[in-house]
Structure 1
Amino acid sequence: MPNRDFHCYYVYILASKKNGTLYTGMTGGIDNRMEQHKLEMFEGFTKKHNVKNLVYLEEFQYVDDAMAREKKLKKWRRQWKIDLIEEENPQWRDLTEDWKGFMGNK
């Protein structure tokens, strides 16, 4: 693991498609976590419902802040999450498409 002056933690929302099934999660390594979701390495909800498009992402320096935000978002109504996604990503694009080198992206 690289030695950094600070850590990054991420709260993210995945979708199966626009206005489809949503999943909210938190991780300390977004690139690895997205690869795991894309390759369906987790048994359970995301694999069962084909939820693997990263449509929303927030970054935090402190794990406690990220955990608190994830818990808050998980309690939100579905429409509030949709509004949050559409405010930042109105086309519901998979944000990993912008990551050079991620699973073959150029």
Structure 2
Amino acid sequence: MKTKPYFSVTNNLVDRLYYHNNPEAHSKSFSHKYKCKYLIYYEHFTDVETAINREKQLKKWNRAKKEFLINLQNPNWNFLNDKI
């Protein structure tokens, strides 16, 4: 089964990754329900409004376009959790 890319905004990526990998912390969250555990792509913004607008833009894209974007930065789809 191929997984679906999940895009979201956070002001603390380290904390977000912790919660994604520790289901007891947020057992009713979307990320827990759909087993979103691995970071394969991210963008950094200094302005929260810009980040939210980008998230909304990405969520409207089709799968092929999302995969193309991920492949530009991370062509092997390596897990980036430990690099943050």
Q: What's the secondary structure of 1:60's corresponding residue?
A: coil
Could you tell me how far apart the structure 2 residues matched to 1:21 and 1:45 are?
13
Q: Which residue of 1 aligns with 2:6?
A: 23
TM-score, with length taken from structure 2: 0.86
Deviates more, 1:40-49 or 1:51-60: 40-49
Q: Which residue of 2 aligns with 1:38?
A: 21
Over aligned residues, Cα RMSD in angstroms?
A: 1.7
Q: Which residue of 2 aligns with 1:66?
A: 51
The aligned runs of 1:88-103 (5 Å cut-off) are 88-99=73-84
Q: Which residue of 1 aligns with 2:62?
A: 77
The alignment-based identity, stated in percent, is 34
Gaps of 5+ in 2: none
Gaps of 5+ in 1: 1-16, 100-106
Q: Which has the higher contact order (CA 8 A, sep 6+)?
A: 2
Bigger radius of gyration: 1
Which consecutive segments of 4 or more residues in structure 1 shift more than 4 A?
none
